[in-house]
Amino acid sequence: MLKTGRNDACWCGSGKKYKNCHLAFDQRIENYEIMGEEVPDHKMIKTPAQIQGIREAGIVNNQILDIVGEHIKAGISTQEINNLVHENTIRLGGIPAPLNFEGFPKSVCTSINDVVCHGIPTPERILKDGDIINVDVTTILNGYYADASRMYCIGKVSEEAEKLVRVTKESVDLGLKEARAWGHLGDIGAVISEYIYANGFTVVREIGGHGVGLEFHEEPWVSHIGTRGTDMLLVPGMVFTIEPMVNAGKADVVQDSKDGWTIYTKDGSLSAQWEYTILITEDGPEVLAR
């Protein structure tokens, strides 16, 4: 791609000349790069119009997860959750991103107990008292993607399950606080993993968060076991997910060889996950979907 000329229109769509808009911003990033930092390229920095589109997708995504929360209870099947997500997404003008994504057969992921993520809804799996379930909803609205997941406790769950769900949520909120412009992506994973291990749980290594917005999964990949001051520079306009998967037992996971999707804990222990889509701004992170 040719470098934008000083008097050309800025890439952000403001209509201003580049020299009066994002030139200084781009030079700041370039200086970090010269100093040896890993920096995002333009594809990872959203324009104000794109951010507004993702924000609106996030509002719909939040509404869908709220609706799930109102209906989820012992006795309903994961297929019924799927139908609830599918029908409400369409009603609100969106498209459920999981459906047919790389062959995924349903409109939402439902991951119960020892399922870490990517659980496939079925009419046979009925929620029962004591289950913990992650419902992971991704909405496409006007071409923009927002991705978030929540845990739901069904009836009375064990003390361990309750703690796992709570600590996982708390870790995402701690990670969020580290999502600072001109900080590092590794700061987020560092605080998350420190908090999780301090609470006696483990963090899944193989699956991470991701850039999101114009596609389902974009760069960068977001590790939940980072090191402070390392990994990509965080820059205003970046949109990505924080979505740690936290196991009560060992961190190892296995994939279902029959359906090719479902990820389980290897030792059969419980697993929890929460996911936000966030935007980096000069004034701190904005949660676009939660």
26 touching ligand MF3, by CB under 6 A: no
By CB under 5 A, which span of 121-129, 146-154, 220-228, 265-273 interacts with Co ion?
146-154
Q: Choosing among ligand MF3, Co ion, none, which partner's interface includes residue 98 (Cβ < 5 to 8 Å by kind)?
A: ligand MF3
Nearer to ligand MF3, 30 or 259 (CB): 259
Helices (H), 40-77: 48-71
Nearer to ligand MF3, 76 or 99 (CB): 99
* Rounded Cα distance, 91 and 234, in Å: 36
253 and 266 Cβ atoms separated by less than 8 Å: yes
Among 26, 114, 131, 136, interactor with Co ion by CB under 5 A: 136
136-175 residues near ligand MF3, rule: CB under 6 A: 136, 138, 147
- To the nearest whole angstrom, how small is the minimum distance from the Cβ of residue 241 to Co ion? 4
Contacts within 8 Å (CB) and 24+ apart, 28-33: 29/233, 29/235, 32/233
- Provide CB contacts within 8 A for 102, sequence distance 6+: none
101 touching ligand MF3, by CB under 6 A: yes
DSSP-derived secondary structure for 151-189: EEE-SSPPHHHHHHHHHHHHHHHHHHHT--TTSBHHHHH
- How many other CB atoms sit within 10 Å of the CB of residue 40? 20
Among 168, 193, 275, 278, interactor with ligand MF3 by CB under 6 A: 275
Among 104, 145, 195, 274, interactor with ligand MF3 by CB under 6 A: 104
By CB under 5 A, which span of 22-30, 65-73, 193-201, 241-249 interacts with Co ion?
241-249
Count Cα neighbours of 281 within 13 Å in the Cβ-side half-sphere: 10
- How many other CB atoms sit within 10 Å of the CB of residue 21? 18
Can you give the binding site for ligand MF3, defined by CB under 6 A?
98, 101-102, 104, 109, 118, 136, 138, 147, 241, 243, 275
